[in-house]
Structures are given as C-alpha cells and as structure tokens.
Amino acid sequence: MIPLSHFMMISAALFCIGLFAVLSKKNAILILIGIEFMLNAAILNFVAFSKHDKLASGGQVFAVFAIVLAAATVAVTLAIVLNVYKYYKTIDPTKIDQLRD
C-alpha cells in the first residue's frame, strides 16, 4: 500500500505547478489550466484521505461533486473567454481594461 505521504507530496507538487501557472502566465486559457491543476490537487487529497478512512467514503463522494462542479465551471468559463476574445481579439487578461464601451 502506498503511504499517505506520497499522495501528499504529489498533491503539493500539483498545487505548486498550478499556482505557478496562475501567477506567471499571461494567457487566460493557461490560467484556467493552472486553476484546474490546483483543483485536482485538492481532489487528490480528498481521495487519499478517504482511502485511509476505514469508516466512510466521504472524501470520494466529495471528490465526485468537486469534479462535476469543476466541469461545469470550465464550460461556463470557456464560454466567457470565447466571448471576451470575440470582443477584444485577445485573451491576455492584462490587455482587457474595460467591460463596457
């Protein structure tokens, strides 16, 4: 059986990669990918702790809900990014300075 610390190290690495992507990228799509990395790190923690919990599978159930909410969030955010690109012709968040004309 894989010890819990290995799951925690992988989760911490995923979260750090996602945080670096969010803080350093100038592209809205890459920022969304970074957010998804951080969310996947949290989901991995839920599943890892649920595996070591002998009484209930609450972490796995919560992970499934988190995955469903993440999929819905990505769909809505991608629609917003596409509309912003249609209007501004860029997906660089620093170049979008106004929301109205």
Helix or strand or coil: residue 90? Answer: coil
Whole-model pTM: value is 0.79
What backbone phi and psi angles, to 5 degrees, belong to 77?
A: -65, -40
What residues contact residue 38 under an 8 Å CB cut-off, 6+ apart? 14, 15, 18, 19, 22
**Average of per-residue pLDDT values in the chain:** 87
- Using an 8 Å Cβ cutoff, are 42 and 66 in contact? yes
More confident residue, 55 or 24: 24
Lookup result for tokens 């917003």: 80
Q: Where do the structural domains in the chain lie, given as residue ranges?
A: 4-88
Q: How confident is the model at residue 101 (pLDDT cuts 50, 70, 90)?
A: low
Lookup result for tokens 């990505």: 74
Amino acid letter at 90?
T
Amino acid letter at 24?
S
pLDDT at 93: 79
Sign of CA dihedral 27, 86, 77, 98: positive
More confident residue, 86 or 93: 86
Enter the CATH code of domain 4-88. Answer: 1.10.287.3510
**What are 49-76's pLDDT values in tens digits?**
887 777 777 888 888 999 999 899 889 9
